[in-house]
């Protein structure tokens, strides 16, 4: 799939399909949340440049940047001929059954001009050494778009997710609505600030 399908077009096609469960989470104003919800050991203005660095790192290492969702050490990545396209697989918590993990396979497209990354879920993948991977089927396939919005010194973290369903699923909508009300930064931003930028953060 990764070699033959335009991943951006596939995401937009699925997003426009009213049968799917499409969720646009609230934008996160990172610097406002830092001011309101954190003590930081020294002055920090989180920029668009920093956020894009985080997004590209997270795309390749989801187990490091999203430890609350992705099982540590489970992420694998296979490149394509295009350096901005690859396939990844990892063990992730099921959205509505978070005590359970399942194999999630995603084809990834980096859009450097747009500072956007698209993740297209797939049911299976054949690795370069011929190993057949099969995605967990206990939840619908899902596609994700993460991107950077806002100004250089006032960036917004954006996140859309859609599940391929026969009709919008209210339980999934409610789950992400609650997730979007979290007053703190998304964990991947916290990880980037602590582990890459070297700041100490304490939640108020």
Q: Is 55 inside any structural domain?
A: yes
Count CB atoms within 10 A of the CB of residue 126. Answer: 11
Q: Is 48 inside any structural domain?
A: yes
| pLDDT(4) > 60 | no
| Closest among 1, 119, 133, 128 to 62, alpha carbons compared | 119
The pLDDT > 70 percentage for the chain reads 98
| pLDDT(196) > 90 | yes
Task: Report the pLDDT averaged over residues 30-38.
Answer: 98
Q: Is 22 inside any structural domain?
A: yes
Identify the pLDDT of residue 5.
Answer: 75
Full domain range(s) for residue 35: 7-203
Check which CATH number belongs to the domain holding 23 and give it: 3.30.530.20
Identify the pLDDT of residue 190.
Answer: 98
Q: For residue range 57-109, what is the model confidence (pLDDT) as tens digits? A: 999 999 999 999 999 999 999 999 999 999 999 999 999 999 999 999 999 99
| Closest among 60, 69, 71, 34 to 193, alpha carbons compared | 34
Q: What is the pTM of this model?
A: 0.95
Q: Is 126 inside any structural domain?
A: yes
Q: Is 1 inside any structural domain?
A: no
| Closest among 75, 61, 91 to 188, alpha carbons compared | 61
Question: Considering Cα of 92, then 191, then 127, then 140, what sign does the dihedral take?
Answer: positive
**Half-sphere exposure (Cβ direction) of 175: Cα atoms closer than 13 Å:** 15
Q: How many domains does one find in the chain? A: 1
| pLDDT(51) > 70 | yes
Q: Is 2 inside any structural domain?
A: no
């Amino acid at each position: 799939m990764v070699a033959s399908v335009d991943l951006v077009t596939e995401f937009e096609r699925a997003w426009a399909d009213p049968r799917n469960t499409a969720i646009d989470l609230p934008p996160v104003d990172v610097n406002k949340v830092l001011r309101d919800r954190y003590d930081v050991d020294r002055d920090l203005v989180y920029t668009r440049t920093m956020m894009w660095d985080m997004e590209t790192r997270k795309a390749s290492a989801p187990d490091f940047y999203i430890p609350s969702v992705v099982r540590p050490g489970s992420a694998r990545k296979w490149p394509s001929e295009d350096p901005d396209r690859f396939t990844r697989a990892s063990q992730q918590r099921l959205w509505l059954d978070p005590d359970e993990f399942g194999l999630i396979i995603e084809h990834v497209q980096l859009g450097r001009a747009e500072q956007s990354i698209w993740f297209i879920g797939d049911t299976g993948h054949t690795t370069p050494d011929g190993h057949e991977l099969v995605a967990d089927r206990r939840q619908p396939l899902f596609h994700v778009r993460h991107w950077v919005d806002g100004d250089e010194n006032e960036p917004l973290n954006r996140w859309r997710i859609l599940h391929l369903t026969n009709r919008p699923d209210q339980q999934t909508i409610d789950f992400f609505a609650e997730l979007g009300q979290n007053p703190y930064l998304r964990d991947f931003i916290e990880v980037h600030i602590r582990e890459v930028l070297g700041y100490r953060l304490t939640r108020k």
